[in-house]
A and B are shown apart, each in its own frame.
Chain A
């Protein structure tokens, strides 16, 4: 006869069943409020534009390698902003746009080009016969096997609130797994454990459920994000992506001195009325960036706004015309095969054979548009929406946002013909506490997993970088210029100097 106390202890020790909170019995659920205390909704209920929302599926999918191999993924897929994602843009949307329900076409539910409200969120409609529940059918129709490599791009602005919902749709190819998934916002300063996405340290979402991560935007920069469940497995299998935070400086106009505004922002973040705002009030520069050394006593640098900037630089030194995400990664084909076929995984001898920029190897890196892969049920899903064609407008500057979440080794990417100007490391501007710029020029960057880095390719000297010129980014880890057994390809892509401007989809347009 088991005593009640012992029984309670036994029950309590079983995986994680709760008694304390009232059971809302939710399954899938999206959170994207129209207003918060920090960003209230308009009087008529119109959502505040500084509230940004995005929904992701956690599950599996397939991707196409450059040698034609269809490779299995554990992956995140888009459940909002699908059209933007397919077009190679970030999927984050203001609440007003997010809250328009996606209307899938039954013949091709995960293709936004055939859907109504192609950027709206999936899973907003209630289930008719179950009050308080959302209808899970569109979530499953769209979400299953719609994994993307890399994971959907996220982009917010400083001072935004981000509601990021992760919906676990299960892994169809692995019915033996009850895999949870999480989102780890890598580099978020002063993170809370609860929203840090490390399952051992907090919580993870089970299959059939949704978890909404809440973040107040951190300092501007290029961050990375990924699943943190069994990272040696989930990251190798493809659950890796990028997240940008746009600087406040982007909102300034040609009447605003960048340096003066930076100084004022520093003073505000420092709190201390006696702070000069020239440097940082704390050793980690929380919410602050040192003002350029040459600025005058009010912070003026003489450089005014109205452009796009990677960081709050105060002197325009991170100005760019067009940005390109570049996710460096590697796939071990043996690992992906056993990942699909229930076999033991070998970490010790794991060897990458595919070397990926944005989920593709050369020459697929320069194939425009989204790549599509047939999944297990014979249907096509867009699997790799990001080419890495770097089109620079004539006389302009391109920002390359590098992220690396590779699991096995360090990789180097070199530039042939146009130097790389490294402006930031790990989402922080290269500037010391005295305001000296520490940006440097180089022909290559070397990255390991967990690192991010920003490079500007500066083509303003049109005599050196004429219209129509093509340059290469390639890896001098020469064995990585391969697609498994094919000895040509790999970690390589092209830089094009456009004859004119670049449009919103980053294609060359003009004369």
Chain B
């Protein structure tokens, strides 16, 4: 199952730079990034080509970082593409905790990346309904 790095950051200028600096130095590539903030602080979520190495490097630099399992489901890059995934999740009563999506130019498809309480169950459900998920290697090297 793919992993994503969550990083705690104060909501102040220069805080993202500190994180990206560590990753750049280690030659770790960022595939996607989202930030959710709550007042004074927020969480930076990073999809990295080497999540374990990236997380370790950040921790070594004294940054609060942790790995989280995610689901990356492939969908059609057409109107209604995300709707199909959302409908499947909704019917199964699965709550999406945190998500983002992006398109993959080469394949005319798109990827919906999200966190859920029970990733294994969600993965099984989606696979059962014919969705294909990206494994860690596939996702990191998109």
Question: Does chain A bind chain B?
Answer: no
**Which residues of A are at the interface with B, using a C-beta cutoff of 8 A?**
none
Chain B residues engaging chain A, CB cutoff 8 angstroms: none
